[in-house]
Amino acid sequence: MIVWEKSHELVKGIYRITGQFPKYELFGLISQMRRCAISVPANIVEGYGRKSNKEKLNFLNIAKGSLTELEYYIDLSHELGYLEKEHYTELVSARITVGKLLHGYIKSF
């Protein structure tokens, strides 16, 4: 599934980039960003494994919520000076792509 692949790539980007954040953010912003990023593909795949459309949609909506949460953390990280413009642009672009794909996948139900 393309939406899962792109969300998986986003997780790897989040891990790579947050590895450069200040170490004092390890149990704060880094942890929060990584958790909600991982939640997106994890909930997509969990929803995919469910039998009913209602169950599938529930997990896909959780993934959508996690993606929205991640959007805030990306913006905050940029405002705090933890993300260089290049990394910020990369993450925003990846998040938008995943959001569009996820929206389309949800609408297919």
CA distance 15 to 104: 26
- Give the pLDDT confidence score for residue 84 in this predicted structure: 94
69 falls in which pLDDT band (50, 70, 90)?
very high
Q: Which of 34, 107, 47 is nearest to 99 (CA)?
A: 107
What range defines the domain where residue 94 resides?
A: 2-15+26-107
Number of domains in the chain: 1
pLDDT in tens, 77-86: 999 999 999 9
| Structural domain includes residue 42 | yes
How confident is the model over 76-97, as a mean pLDDT?
A: 97
For residue 88, tell me if it sits in a domain.
Answer: yes
Cβ neighbour number for residue 62 with a 10 Å cutoff: 17
Q: Let me know if residue 20 belongs to a domain.
A: no
Assigned domain for 59 exists: yes
Residue 80 lies in a domain: yes
**Does 30 fall in a domain?**
yes
**Residue 93: what pLDDT?**
98
Q: What is the CATH number of the domain that holds 48?
A: 1.20.1440.60
Domain annotation covers residue 102: yes
- Residue 4 to residue 102: CA distance in whole angstroms: 9
Q: Is residue 21 part of a domain?
A: no
pTM: 0.94
